[in-house]
Amino acid sequence: MTAPNRPIYLDNHATTPPDPRVLAAMRPWWEENFSNPASVEHAMGRAAEEAVESARRDIAALIGADSREIILTSGATEANNLAIKGVARFARTHGDERFARAAGDGRRRIVTVATEHKCVLESVRDLAAEGFDPVFLPVAADGLLDPATLREALEVPTLLVSAMAVNNETGVIQDVAALAALAREHGALFHTDAAQAAGRVPLDVEEMRLDLVSLSAHKMYGPKGIGALYVRRRPRVRLSPLLSGGGQERGLRSGTLPAPLVVGFGEAARIARLEALLDEGRIRGQRDRFVEALTAAVPGVRLNGHAENRVPGNLNLTFPGSVDAQRIMAAAPGVCVSTGSACSSASVEPSYVLRALGLPEHEARATLRIGIGRFTSPADVDRAAAELARAWHAALSEAPHPAAA
């Protein structure tokens, strides 16, 4: 429960608070054994290496992978860049000699979705300058990609498809297993940004036949600054590294591993695997309580994205009266919410994700993203709903009347 004088945190899609168990697991690796995990010549280094490998096994177990398929990175942004650019550059460099599965016919098409995270969209755009053909597919009004749309795009030989599992703004869950099957049917590799999905929805890379999966610790109550890329071994997916260096992480990601962060990531993944269903039920209850209170106080507030195919903690809400969401937030400083992706928060433009769903600009600007999490209490959602309703009424009364505009 949040203390009365402390802001209520409802921005769990931007980041989650670290679980106290994660902090406890990390602490010895800051204070007692700070050794480099690559320093295997001595006991402290070997202990750090074993802690890293144990954490890697926990991360792998969360998504049904083999620990040898987990490449540790600085976060999901780096993992997404490595997946997309790594596949493309390997295909360009090695062609049909070593990449016959997807690139033997000289494929240069990279397909993604208009509502992806910025780091995916920009990675795909960057490849245009390297001779690749980027394709950005539209979504329906509910935020879902129609498989028929992807199938049509795949009529042109395609190297890679990238579609996120859970949207970071709307919380919409894509059927990545079906999309991956389509990609595989057409000889393309499939990557998913699962930063918002891991720990929130079931993921099994073998059952879903995913080739590449990006993860982020701080979206699942772990530390910031650490993430991972799952890279399928059988059949093997080949990448070119982004960084040159000492060849850590099987040559795909050079750099000294931050043992405390890796340990924290592993503990967060372990907890998520064991407690995901408990979290889901608790969060769903808090969400329903919040919605009931807010809709009673703000008639006409509208949910964006598919009503059922979404993670329970996400509410992407457009407020009536075209009241700018920034004004609502300013009038409710005791509630921490957002207008969209934290990575785009410096932009004054309305959310490109909401525009892709068909919202006009004035509605996109009147939209807040609410993120309920593991540590959100009933008192938190009651107070937040009341504060946001009060802020909306205040902002509405101060807004210029349309006739006077």
Q: Residues with catalytic annotation? A: 343
Count CA atoms within 13 Å of residue 236 on its CB side: 7
Round to whole Å and give the CA distance between 248 and 154: 35
| C-beta separation of 170 from 356 below 8 A | no
The CA distance from 142 to 151, in Å, is: 19
Cβ atoms < 10 Å from Cβ of 35:
19
Closest CA to 316 of 366, 368, 280, 354: 368
Residues 6+ apart with CB under 8 A from 20: none
- Nearest Cα neighbor of 120 from 148, 161, 155, 150 is 161
Q: What is the DSSP string of 104-137?
A: TT---EEEEETTS-HHHHHHHHHHHTTT-EEEEE
DSSP state of 305: S
Give CA–CA dist 174/121, Å, rounded: 17
Give, in degrees to the nearest 5, the angle at Cα 371 between 137 and 118: 35
Q: 129 Cβ partners below 8 Å, 6+ apart?
A: none
Q: How far is CA 301 from CA 294, 297, 319, 320, in A?
A: 8, 9, 5, 6
In 3D space, the residue among 214, 209, 215, 301 whose CA is nearest the CA of residue 266 turns out to be 215
Give the total residue count for the chain.
405
Question: Beta partners for 172?
Answer: 310
**Contact 179/197 with Cβ under 8 angstroms?**
no
CA angle in degrees (0–180, nearest 5) for 383-384-386: 65
Nearest CA to 254 out of 263, 245, 242, 267 is that of 245
Q: What distance lies between CA 239 and its chain's CA centroid?
A: 21
